[in-house]
Amino acid sequence: MAGTIPAPSRTGFRGNDRLLLGIVLGVVTFWLFAGTTGTVAPNILADVNGAYSDPVHKTWANPLIDVSAMNLAVSVTALFSGMFIVVAGGLADRVGRVRISLIGNGLGILGSLMIVLAAGPLALPLMLGGRAVQGLSAACIMPATMALVKAYWDGPGRQRAVSMWSIGSWGGSGLASIFGGYVSTFVGWRWIFVASIVISVISILLMRGTPESKVAQTDTAKFDFAGVAVFMVSMLALMVVLIFGAKIGWLTTTTIGLFAVAVVGLSLLVRVEKRSAKPFIDFALFGNRTFTGATISNFLLNGAIGLLIVTQQLLQIAGGMKASEAGLLTIGYAVAIIAFIRIGEKLLQRFGPRRPMVWGSLIVGVATVLLLPTNLLLSEYRWLAVLAYALFGLGLAFYATPSTDAALANLPADQAGAGSGIYKMASSLGGAIGAAVSLALFTAYSSTGAQFVGDVLVNQGRTDNTAVRQAAVVALVFNLVMVVIAVVSIMATVPKGRERAEAQAPAHD
């Protein structure tokens, strides 16, 4: 039967602190540095486009990068990471995890350099191209470095290495708004990506010389280029519709045509993958209800990152806060997600995955509700934001480990790798699409406002920012809907208690 067998590595090699630090720094380049863009987007636009032509509404007559393009720049990194993470993980197994990790760091340097140089007539292509390359970097680094952790550490050493990897990921994500806010305020946003280049270089130096780790291939099936191509075209078409649909016009030929490409493409993808000997996305895995429910909820909960991005921009655009001040409000998010992620593991052991997944999702829902009263004075709303961000981190911490366990522990051993790839893809695509839709709604209503929101929430204090405050409510309601659907998917698919779902899984030969 086709499969893979471990290839011999250099005898006696064990993971060490030098390699581990290099791995963690590689992970940090995405989660900490690339993840700052949502918070510092207003600073980037102000710097690249120069003085406002309309200072009241903070707009430009002929911007080099308009707001819609900046929204695409924010979300395109997670999109490219999601589209290629499965491909890069498989490539790492074939050509070497160390090699792909180093390539990923190299791509991170290239992407950051392009963003640093984004100015003048080339500002837009360099910004979008750099962000896309950063996504490819993350797609290489994430699966390759985790595979290295599994290959070169054992027992308690592996547990420590996994914890350090997780701190680099979750900790970097939690600190991104604070770090980006302070750097952009005091030394300029471009220095965020200069720092990213430096850290990537250090990561490469620390990882160089590590013995290669890969698997010897006995599987002769060809790579699924057709599936990847169809998926990529479909997702790019969908993202353009979501972000630029309001600007282009929802009923224009261009928008309708792109939407048709996305729908037809995704339908064709299912047919192509079912016929492929080695599918890019194995849709047979979704025959397991628990895996399906956990993956859907993972997609939706990661999509709720839109609540953080939208309110960070709200605080700066409508509240007049500096990026450093707005970013500092997220300190509770960083602390909660790092401090309580192990609690999620304990809850899993005691109650099984369903309860902590539901509890975590509901806590995220409460966080979203706390952010809805944008009609309050800034002095009041900022404290709600502090509490909401902390609850957002707590909810994700409760949810993360139980969700991963629910998705992967209920799959047969020979499908765990494919299932892990799809689950990670759902994380990145959820973040990309959630951020894109949230920002698209926020941008669309920021100029006109939403009267139906004004009928419910009467603004206190300034009235010149009413449209922006109402626009944030619309985006936050979208995030709340995603959280509700996530809870429903968990309740409908994940078994109660510590029961496993092997009995639900379809039989395999």
pLDDT mean by block of 10 residues, the chain; 509 residues: 40 77 92 88 91 67 87 91 87 87 96 95 94 94 87 79 81 87 94 96 94 73 81 90 85 93 92 84 86 93 93 93 93 90 86 93 97 94 96 93 83 71 88 92 88 85 88 96 96 77 38
Question: Residue 418 has what pLDDT?
Answer: 73
Same domain, 183 and 239: no
Q: Tell me if 479 is assigned to some domain.
A: yes
E strands, 163-267, in order:
215-217
Same domain, 200 and 233: no
Question: Residue 57 has what pLDDT?
Answer: 61
Query: How many independent structural domains does the chain possess?
Result: 3
Question: Which one, of 311, 271, 286, lies nearest residue 426 by Cα?
Answer: 286
Same domain, 273 and 294: no
Question: Which one, of 395, 424, 393, 392, lies nearest residue 407 by Cα?
Answer: 424
Final residue belonging to a domain, choices 258, 277, 296: 277
Same domain, 313 and 180: no
Q: Tell me if 413 is assigned to some domain.
A: yes
Same domain, 100 and 180: yes
Amino acid making up residue 143: P
pTM here is 0.85
122, 169, 182, 190 from 119: Cα distances, Å: 6, 30, 22, 11
Q: Give the tens place of pLDDT for each residue, 79-126.
A: 999 888 888 888 888 888 899 999 999 999 999 999 999 999 999 999
Same domain, 207 and 229: no
Same domain, 395 and 468: yes
As given in the structure block, the two tokens for residue 328 are: 């500092």
Amino acid making up residue 378: L
Same domain, 200 and 98: yes
Spell out a b/e string for 234-259, using b for 16 or more CB atoms within 10 Å of the CB, else e.
Answer: bbbbbbbbbbbbbebeeeeeebeebb
Question: Residue 471 has what pLDDT?
Answer: 93
As given in the structure block, the two tokens for residue 92 are: 């790492």
Q: Report how far residue 415's alpha carbon sits from residue 396's, in angstroms, rounded to the nearest whole number.
A: 26
Burial of 57 from C-beta contacts in 10 A (0-12 / 13-18 / 19+): middle
Compute how many other C-beta atoms are within 10 angstroms of the C-beta atom of residue 455.
8
Q: Report how far residue 32's alpha carbon sits from residue 170's, in angstroms, rounded to the nearest whole number.
A: 9
Same domain, 334 and 462: yes
Residue listed under structure tokens 């003085």:
51
Q: Report how far residue 503's alpha carbon sits from residue 288's, in angstroms, rounded to the nearest whole number.
A: 9
Q: Report how far residue 196's alpha carbon sits from residue 29's, in angstroms, rounded to the nearest whole number.
A: 6
Q: Report how far residue 496's alpha carbon sits from residue 453's, in angstroms, rounded to the nearest whole number.
A: 38
Amino acid making up residue 191: W
Residue listed under structure tokens 């940090």:
28
Q: Tell me if 131 is assigned to some domain.
A: yes
Residue listed under structure tokens 């990506």:
193
Same domain, 85 and 230: no
Q: Tell me if 217 is assigned to some domain.
A: no
Q: Is 335 helix (H, G, I), strand (E, B) or coil?
A: helix
Q: With both helix axes pointing from N to C terminus, report the angle between 155-166 and 123-152 in degrees, rounded to the nearest 10.
A: 160
Element (H, E) at 5: strand 4-6
Same domain, 373 and 420: yes
Question: Residue 500 has what pLDDT?
Answer: 47
Q: Tell me if 197 is assigned to some domain.
A: yes
Q: Is 302 helix (H, G, I), strand (E, B) or coil?
A: helix
Q: Tell me if 444 is assigned to some domain.
A: yes
Q: Tell me if 9 is assigned to some domain.
A: no
CATH number of the domain that residue 357 is part of: 1.20.1250.20
Q: Report how far residue 439's alpha carbon sits from residue 444's, in angstroms, rounded to the nearest whole number.
A: 8
HSE toward the beta carbon, residue 473, CA cutoff 13 A: 22
As given in the structure block, the two tokens for residue 393 are: 């981190």
Question: Residue 484 has what pLDDT?
Answer: 97
Same domain, 449 and 394: yes
Q: Report how far residue 318's alpha carbon sits from residue 203's, in angstroms, rounded to the nearest whole number.
A: 39
| Domain extent at residue 454 | 288-502
Q: Tell me if 253 is assigned to some domain.
A: yes
